[in-house]
């Protein structure tokens, strides 16, 4: 219990004094994860929507795969991306390994299936209600997917937040492809792992509290935006 | 519709921001080193001095020695800085490294529980201590991760005349982890463990552990630095990498290494040949 | 715009799982009269309408519009329960126009006019999902009407509404007819059929049993099934 309270007060202290090193680590964590969310949403949301409205051979198999990949182990994704980006690998010449860009790539691959699967479920439920009317008005499946994406946007916020949560909290992928380089690819989760392995458990736990506070803050901001938008657009 | 456009814009901006370090064309090298070296805090001390002298930034990727050398074999690092002479010479023999230069040494220590079930505390002979631990089947934690420390541990068992494969049992815990996590494990199960002094000095979760054997010359841990062979990997930054190597073996670099202390204790002893 | 009529159904069958829901239906519907499809629940009225509108594909048979097999764009459908997007009433109507390819500026004007015509101009900016049942149904009619269709399908348009709202919807339907648009409607409300129909298509278990002018049908149904149907229905529902 002592470690717990000690860590809580350390965490509060770090946040209150806006510790410079911590601030830059938090900044990088947000930059990497938010960028990954942006890419994953751009790919995953339309993908999920089209999966929901279009029928095609093999659809059920793809749904099973998408749902399964929601739980992809982050360390496996990290390993795959490492092999892709390594100098010995196909994308080697770009020299992307051990950079924040590699971390964004890995996290995007990690969370796209999650966001696509959740979107598919939301859109499929909406499609049941809207299908006849939209087809009657002459909407093609692609057009209908876009319309429903916009119409269900408030429910999709949850899908996006789920993606952000998964990205901000993972350590396996960013550790392998980023290398946890001080000042370059060190993010919250890899710092916590490092401090734990150095035996400084109170500090690691304190950083853990900061990370949780960060994720909660993002969720809070999203919820406020959602409430404002609901009031505005109905 | 415009939601998607807005997201695309955000993504492009984000990517541009992330790309900007590359665009800024800063001079940097990637050095593959070991977790024990990084966690000792040495790099935090010597790299700022190197950057001040040359303007070159060093990005240290800290892995186990085996992993560090493999990373270099794939061409993902410019320089390796590890502590396993046998593995390093093999690395060069395979053609992946240019030349090995000795930089510094630190030592390993045997750490164990204060109540010392194998009765090895205070001894000066590491092989004797290992024999006693095996005889008593006292809990022993190994790193098991192809690291320099792991390689040293295996050599010492061999020197003690013990065939690990024959006597391995529940007392020998092969964790496959870095120095810090292995120490954590040893601390929580009151086990003996071979550690490098640097990591031990900055390790904060000691619980019941203390130093039981030190000073045996067989415990000395030699560090070497090698430039990754540009003939094998043409993208290797050979000039910047060589500048790093030249600096750590120079009088300046060696002095900076010697000045690094934890709690007043010197950790690394420079011994580069001139 | 060339006429889409006559709408001809040749031997249309719909039997997705073996049992025919619509059985060898032959009809020739022209654009001058108001057609009402009557029948008991499960007779196949809604399915027949969806086949005509093109939402369902027949298992066998041919549907032609003025001799052409191509499904025309100049048609619209209003369902029993209106389905609105989570946006304003005006934008819902504009959405239909957008799908029809109307350019942005013209879209909003035409949408506003459509809302005027059905008496919903005051609530143009209100969120469509919070409107009452009758208002939403009138909005659905506005959306369909704004497309300037030659034929409008209506599937039990007042079945979910209270009598007051139903009356308002019926009056909008009359205006649509007056503007030159042909309607094909299903209902199980005999009073409504009497008020709005020029001709009746009577379906029983997927087959067209009678296809006669309305006044003939109501005074003197030729088939036993139609007779039984009307006796079962209370005249004021």
How confident is the model over B208-234, as a mean pLDDT? 92
pLDDT computed for residue A28 by the predictor: 95
In whole angstroms, give the CA distance from residue B183 to residue C218: 95
Tokens standing for residue B31? 């050095």
- Asked whether the whole model's pTM tops 0.90, one would answer no
B67 is a domain residue = yes
Note the pLDDT tens digit of each residue in A66-94.
999 998 999 999 999 999 999 999 999 99
Considering only CA atoms, which of C57, C60, C79, C80 is closest in space to residue C13?
C60
Cβ within 8 Å, pair C55-A137: no
CA angle B5, B11, B13 (to 5 degrees): 105
- Contact by Cβ (8 Å): C115, C93: yes
Q: Is A71 exposed, middle or buried (0-12, 13-18, 19+ CB in 10 A)?
A: exposed
Is pLDDT larger for residue B139 or for residue A232? Answer: B139
Residue B196's CATH number: 3.40.190.10
Nearest to A233 among C77, C87, C100 (CB): C87
> What would the pLDDT profile of B40-61 be if each residue is shown by its tens digit?
889 999 999 999 999 999 999 9
User: Do residues A65 and A114 lie in contact, with contact meaning Cβ atoms separated by under 8 Å?
Assistant: no
Q: Which of B203-207, C97-101, C176-180 has the lowest mean pLDDT?
A: B203-207
Closest to C119 measured CA to CA, from C136, C137, C143, C138: C138
- Residue B184 maps to a domain: yes
Q: What is the pLDDT of residue C1?
A: 65
For the record, the structure tokens of C67 come out as 């001799």
Q: B175 and B247 share a domain?
A: no
Q: Which domain holds residue B59?
A: 17-106+222-270
Are residue B31 and residue B155 in the same domain, yes or no?
no
Across the interface, of A35, A98, A184, the residue whose CB is closest to B11 is: A35
Average pLDDT for residues B91-110, to the nearest whole number?
A: 94
Q: How high is the pLDDT of residue B1?
A: 44
Does the pLDDT value for residue C31 go beyond 60? yes
A87/B4 Cβ within 8 A = no
> Given this model, what pLDDT does residue B10 score?
59
Q: C7-232 in CATH: which number?
A: 3.40.50.300
Q: Which of A42, A101, A180 lies at the smallest CB-CB distance from B18?
A: A101
How many whole angstroms separate alpha carbon C69 and alpha carbon C81? 29
CB contact under 8 A, A197 and B75: no
Chains B and C touch (3+ CB pairs under 8 A): no
Q: Is C169 helix (H, G, I), strand (E, B) or coil?
A: helix
CA-to-CA separations, C146 to B217, C85, C116, C126, C229, in angstroms, rounded? 94, 17, 11, 19, 36
If asked whether residues B161 and B178 sit together in one domain, one would say yes
Residue of C nearest to A152 (CA): C86
Mean pLDDT across B10-30: 64
Task: Please tell me the total count of domains within chain B.
Answer: 2
**Do A and B share at least 3 CB pairs under 8 Å?**
yes
- What are the Cα distances from residue B31, in Å, to A179, B55, B59, B69, B103? 11, 16, 6, 11, 15
* Domain co-membership, B31 together with B167: no
**Cα-flanking dihedrals φ and ψ of residue B198, to 5°?**
-55, -55
Same domain (yes/no): B121, B197: yes
How many other CB atoms sit within 10 Å of the CB of residue B36?
Answer: 29
Q: CA nearest A36: which of A138, A143, A133, A166?
A: A166
Determine the Cα–Cα distance for residues B181 and B179; give it in Å rounded to an integer. 6
3-class SS shares of chain C: helix, strand, coil, % to 5: 40, 25, 35
Lowest-confidence region among A135-144, B34-43, B224-233 = B34-43
Interior/surface letters A98-135, b for 16+ CB within 10 angstroms, e for the rest: bbbbbbbbbbbbbbbbbbbbbbbbbbbebbeebbbbbb
Contact C99 A233 (CB under 8 A): no
Same domain (yes/no): B117, B212: yes
* A-chain residue closest to B200, CA distance: A198
Quick one: B87 and B156 in the same domain?
Answer: no
Q: Which domains does chain A have, with CATH numbers?
A: 8-233 (1.10.3720.10)
Between the two ends of chain B, the Cα-to-Cα distance in Å is 68
- Is B196 in a helix, a strand, or coil? strand
Residue B229 within any structural domain of the chain: yes
- Name which residue leads in pLDDT, B5 or B182: B182
Residue B55, C-beta contacts closer than 8 angstroms, at least 6 positions apart: B27
Give the neighbor-by-neighbor strand order of the sheet with C75-78.
Answer: C75-78, C151-155, C182-186, C35-39, C199-204, C207-213
Q: Are residues B114 and B149 in the same domain?
A: yes
The sign of the torsion formed by the CA atoms of C160, C164, C166, C168 equals negative
pLDDT score at B178: 81
Q: Give domain status of residue B236, yes or no.
A: yes
CA distances (Å), B176 to each of B144, B192, C67, in order? 4, 16, 78
The rounded distance, in Å, linking the Cα atoms of A197 and B178 is 8
* pLDDT averaged over every residue in chain B: 88
Domain-located, residue B1: no
Q: Would you state the pLDDT for residue B11?
A: 59
Instruction: Give mean pLDDT, residues A202-208.
Output: 89
Same domain, residue pair B214 and B252? no
DSSP state at residue A234: -
Q: So where are chain C's domains? A: 7-232
Q: How confident is the model at residue B23 (pLDDT cuts 50, 70, 90)?
A: very low
| Residue C89: alpha-carbon gap to chain centroid | 21
């Amino acid at each position: 219990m002592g470690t717990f309270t000690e860590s809580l007060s350390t965490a509060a202290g770090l946040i209150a004094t806006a510790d410079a090193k911590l601030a830059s680590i938090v900044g990088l964590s947000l930059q990497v994860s938010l960028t990954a969310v942006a890419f994953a949403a751009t790919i995953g949301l339309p993908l999920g929507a089209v999966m929901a409205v279009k029928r095609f051979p093999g659809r059920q198999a793809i749904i099973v795969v998408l749902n399964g990949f929601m739980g992809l182990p982050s360390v496996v994704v990290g390993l795959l991306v490492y092999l892709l980006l390594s100098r010995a690998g196909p994308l080697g010449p770009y020299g992307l390994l051990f950079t924040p860009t590699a971390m964004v790539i890995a996290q995007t691959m990690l969370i796209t299936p999650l966001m696509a699967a959740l979107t598919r479920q939301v859109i499929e439920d909406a499609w049941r209600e809207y299908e006849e009317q939209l087809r009657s008005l002459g909407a093609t499946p692609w057009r209908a997917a876009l319309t429903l994406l916009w119409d269900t946007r408030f429910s999709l916020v949850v899908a996006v937040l789920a993606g952000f949560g998964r990205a901000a909290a993972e350590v396996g992928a960013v550790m392998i492809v980023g290398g946890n380089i001080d000042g370059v690819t060190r993010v919250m989760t890899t710092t916590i792992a490092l401090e734990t392995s150095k035996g400084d458990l109170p500090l690691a736990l304190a950083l853990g509290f900061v990370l949780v506070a960060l994720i909660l803050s993002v969720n809070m901001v999203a919820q406020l935006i959602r409430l404002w938008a609901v009031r505005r657009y109905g | 519709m415009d939601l998607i456009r807005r997201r695309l814009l955000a993504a492009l901006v984000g990517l541009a921001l992330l790309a900007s370090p590359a665009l800024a064309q800063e001079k940097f090298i990637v050095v593959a080193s070991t977790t024990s070296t990084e966690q000792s805090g040495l790099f935090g001390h010597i790299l700022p001095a190197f950057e001040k002298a040359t303007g070159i930034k060093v990005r240290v990727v800290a892995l186990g020695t085996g992993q560090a050398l493999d990373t270099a074999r794939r061409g993902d690092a410019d320089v390796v800085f590890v502590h396993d002479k046998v593995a390093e010479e093999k690395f060069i023999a395979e053609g992946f490294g240019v030349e090995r230069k000795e930089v510094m040494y630190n030592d390993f220590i045997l750490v164990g529980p204060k109540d010392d079930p194998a009765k090895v505390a205070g001894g000066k002979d590491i092989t004797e201590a290992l024999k006693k631990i095996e005889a008593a089947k006292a809990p022993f934690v190994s790193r098991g991760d192809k690291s320099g420390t792991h390689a040293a541990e295996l050599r010492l068992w061999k020197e003690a005349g013990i065939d690990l494969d024959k006597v391995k049992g529940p007392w020998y815990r092969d964790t496959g982890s870095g120095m810090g996590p292995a120490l954590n494990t040893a601390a929580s199960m009151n086990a003996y463990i071979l550690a490098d002094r640097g990591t031990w000095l900055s390790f904060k979760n000691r619980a019941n552990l203390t130093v039981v054997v030190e000073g045996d010359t067989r415990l000395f841990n030699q560090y070497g630095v090698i430039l990754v062979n540009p003939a094998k990997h043409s993208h290797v930054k050979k000039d910047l990498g060589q500048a790093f190597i030249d600096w750590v073996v120079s009088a300046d670099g060696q002095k900076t290494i010697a000045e690094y202390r934890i709690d007043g204790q010197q950790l690394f002893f420079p011994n580069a040949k001139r | 715009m060339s006429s889409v009529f006559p709408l001809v159904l040749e031997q249309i069958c719909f039997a997705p799982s073996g049992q025919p829901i619509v059985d060898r239906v032959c009809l020739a519907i022209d654009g001058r009269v108001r057609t009402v499809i009557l029948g008991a629940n499960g007779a196949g009225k809604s399915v027949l309408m969806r086949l005509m509108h093109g939402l369902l594909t027949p298992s066998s048979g041919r549907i032609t519009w003025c001799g052409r097999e191509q499904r025309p764009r100049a048609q619209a459908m209003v369902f029993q329960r209106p389905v609105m997007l989570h946006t304003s009433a005006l934008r819902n109507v504009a959405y239909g126009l957008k799908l029809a390819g109307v350019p942005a500026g013209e879209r909003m004007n035409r949408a506003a006019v459509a809302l005027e015509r059905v008496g919903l101009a005051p609530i143009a900016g209100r969120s469509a999902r919070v409107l009452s049942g009758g208002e939403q149904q009138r909005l659905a009619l506005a959306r369909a009407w704004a497309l300037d269709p030659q034929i409008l399908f209506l599937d039990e348009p007042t079945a979910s509404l209270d009598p007051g709202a139903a009356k308002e919807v019926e009056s909008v339907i009359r205006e649509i007819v007056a503007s030159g648009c042909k309607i094909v409607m299903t209902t199980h409300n005999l009073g409504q059929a009497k008020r709005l129909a020029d001709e009746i298509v009577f379906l029983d278990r997927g087959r067209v049993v009678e296809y006669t002018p309305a006044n003939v049908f109501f005074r003197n149904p030729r088939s036993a099934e139609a007779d039984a149907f009307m006796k079962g229905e209370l005249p004021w529902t």
